[in-house]
Structure 1
Amino acid sequence: MTALRDRAVATADWTVWTCRVRLAVTDPAALPAARDVVEREIAAVDAACSRFRPDGDLAAVDAGAGRWTPVGPLLAEALAVALRAARLTDGHVDPTVGGAMTALGYDRDLADVDPGTVPPVLAPVAGWRTVELDGDRVRIPWGARLDLGATVKAWTADRAAAAVADRTGAGVLVSIGGDVAVAGPAPDGGWRIRVEDVTGDPDAPPPPGSATVSVVDGGLATSGTRARRWLRGGVEVHHLLDPRTGLPTRPVWRTVSVAAGSCTDANTVSTAAVVRGHAALPWLRELGLPARLVTEHGDVVTCGGWPA
């Protein structure tokens, strides 16, 4: 998912969490303040929710597995968002996949993953129902590890877009690794978003098989198995795990794109659809959200009013 440049808006681009960030505002004078807001939001979420930071709040929860651990308001909210996503998707998006991610080698920045061996069998994860969140404290089962990656990036985009619109009054788009949130008044014709398998250079020519849509509010997200891949024991694996097995989900859809009232909801649904495999299409039709699914062979299926 790539936010395209519009001559009527001002943009800034940088990299965080090994993701490309694009910020766009309808008032060029608001761009410096907007970038400051977005960078502060990302830094705060990183300190609270990153599983790669031994000094972070999430690491304290993992280290305290089996007992109640106090958490700050940001992590408590992020956990509530993750548990809601798990409930709404019948557990196909599950925050207790951290141990399985670690077993597959994704316990550090992707560029530094150890290409060791894949365990012959990975047990299903502990399951989201085992996570107890009580206000400002949380308890997870002994041996469990959390990973909020399925929701936290999109949630951060939502938070950042809302904060920029509130501070500047400008229309704003925030894209973090292709998870797109918009707030405030959109430019004429809406925000133009290019949907593709892997987030690329927004100023480059569109790759084959991509599509361009316009968004005026809410969010748009693409989940897929192409972007975050690495070798483990000579086997190529990816980051979208099936909580029922603890292994990368079976290759039915290489990408699923969804539009919803928030980027968080869009990403929750798109991720769950990839994990659901063949069962995704009837589920998406029941939800009625605009969606675009691309098979492993490149065939495109749309539903829910996704534009032709």
Structure 2
Amino acid sequence: MTPATAHPASVSFRALGTTASLLVTDPAAMSAARRVLDAELAAVDAACSRFRPDSELSRANAAAGAAVHVSALFAEALDVALYAAETTDGVVDPTVGTAVRALGYDVTFAALRPQDLSPLRVAGPSAGWRAVEWDRAARRLRIPRGVALDLGATAKALAADRAADRAAEVTGHGVLVNLGGDLSAAGDPPPGGWRIAVADDHAATDTAGGPTVSITGGGLATSGTTVRTWRRGDRRVHHIVDPVTGDVPAPVWRTVSVAAVSCVAANIASTEAVVLGDRALGRLRRAGLPARLVRVDGTVERVCGWPADQTVEHTEGGAR
């Protein structure tokens, strides 16, 4: 294994309706790492996409009321989604699919056109994760009639973790995967760690002068309410839904960034924080998770040792 270089190789491209970025400490390992990432993205899209009628998720939702057998990857993604719901007391819940569609997010964000949207309709409270019948041993799923699953809150983070771990294993080098603000690092990092820009928009090209942090492993996720937005009537709505109301949560945080042992754990905490509003500060402190929360007025809150804002020249990051 060769030492990490000071300037990792990187590539960015469109995937899963967002921007995917791959960084590798050894440029010679990029091709192998990219093959791993491409395969993981294709697999998770086929399993968990809400926007493909042939995906496992779409077929499971269409069969609501009947039992269906699912693949090992879909089972893993569902396990993660149900774990998120259990650990957040239903704040991050996969049964919000109907509510998300009612708000207008029923096509990929790139295809969403305001002129196509009907007046705002709120679906009301979600059924809740306990309504899902899941036999893990048999990989048999039954979704109640009238309920639709949405695994988007956690499936992308799971893909980042899986791809980073596998690419590091295959190449023997440090890897960072960024899927629209969901980041996972595996293997030996470059000197000083992976330097991450924390921004409102994961697709921002000019992050100079913005806050940055360094990570050496694990995950970092930023959830935001300013990028994936659209108008319904006289309201602006976004992609994060409160399962209790079926509506977007009260506007408290513009972005929430959380560092954790994995991208999945960071994603769950950042999404939960957006829904909880001010209650998120206590929740993050009790969990011991370093986080940076930006209020809608731009005021910044930091908890559990998240460092004061610093800047560097080379960065990689953003919000989803």
Q: Which residue of 2 aligns with 1:303?
A: 303
| Offset, 1:257 | 0.5
Judged with a 3 Å threshold, the aligned counterparts in structure 2 of structure 1 residues 298 and 27 are, in CA distance, closer, same or farther, namely same
Read off the aligned partner of 2:246 and give its amino acid letter.
G
Provide, for residues 262-290 of structure 1, a one-character-per-residue CA deviation record: whole Å limited to 9, x for no partner.
Answer: 00000100100110011111111111110
TM-score under structure 2 normalisation? Answer: 0.91
Read off the aligned partner of 1:190 and give its amino acid letter.
G
Matches of 1:76 and 1:262 in 2, distance apart? 19
| Offset, 1:18 | 2.6
Please list, as runs of the form range in 1=range in 2, the aligned pairs for 1:254-293 lying within 5 A after superposition: 254-293=254-293
| Offset, 1:205 | 4.1
Does structure 1 residue 149 correspond to structure 2 residue 152?
A: yes
Q: Which residue of 2 aligns with 1:22?
A: 21
Q: Which residue of 1 aligns with 2:171?
A: 168
Q: Which residue of 1 aligns with 2:195?
A: 192
Does structure 1 residue 132 correspond to structure 2 residue 119?
A: no
State the Cα RMSD in Å: 1.3
8 Å CA contact 1:110–1:230 kept in 2: the answer is no
8 Å CA contact 1:228–1:239 kept in 2: the answer is yes
Moved over 4 A (4+): none
8 Å CA contact 2:199–2:207 kept in 1: the answer is no
Matches of 1:201 and 1:285 in 2, distance apart? 30
| Offset, 1:200 | 3.2
Judged with a 3 Å threshold, the aligned counterparts in structure 2 of structure 1 residues 200 and 111 are, in CA distance, closer, same or farther, namely closer
| Offset, 1:98 | 0.5
Matches of 2:125 and 2:201 in 1, distance apart? 28
Read off the aligned partner of 1:302 and give its amino acid letter.
R
Q: Which residue of 2 aligns with 1:78?
A: 77
8 Å CA contact 1:257–1:270 kept in 2: the answer is yes
The gaps in structure 2 that reach 5 residues or longer are 309-320
8 Å CA contact 1:258–1:270 kept in 2: the answer is yes
Read off the aligned partner of 1:147 and give its amino acid letter.
D
Matches of 2:6 and 2:246 in 1, distance apart? 45
| Offset, 1:234 | 4.2
The gaps in structure 1 that reach 5 residues or longer are 1-5
Matches of 1:146 and 1:251 in 2, distance apart? 24
Equivalent residue pairs, number? 299
- Percent identity, aligned pairs only, is 55
Does structure 1 residue 35 correspond to structure 2 residue 39?
A: no
Pairing partner for 1:206 from 205, 208, 227: 208
SS in 2 for 1:163: helix
TM-score under structure 1 normalisation? Answer: 0.94
| Offset, 1:80 | 0.3
Matches of 2:271 and 2:86 in 1, distance apart? 14
Matches of 1:257 and 1:89 in 2, distance apart? 17
Q: Which moved more, 1:121-130 or 1:136-145?
A: 121-130
Matches of 1:97 and 1:206 in 2, distance apart? 37
| Offset, 1:36 | 1.0
Judged with a 3 Å threshold, the aligned counterparts in structure 2 of structure 1 residues 111 and 234 are, in CA distance, closer, same or farther, namely farther
Matches of 1:171 and 1:206 in 2, distance apart? 24
Q: Which moved more, 1:14-23 or 1:176-185?
A: 14-23
Please list, as runs of the form range in 1=range in 2, the aligned pairs for 1:80-99 lying within 5 A after superposition: 80-99=79-98
Provide, for residues 204-250 of structure 1, a one-character-per-residue CA deviation record: whole Å limited to 9, x for no partner.
Answer: 2426xx31000001000001111210122342110110000000111
Judged with a 3 Å threshold, the aligned counterparts in structure 2 of structure 1 residues 43 and 239 are, in CA distance, closer, same or farther, namely same
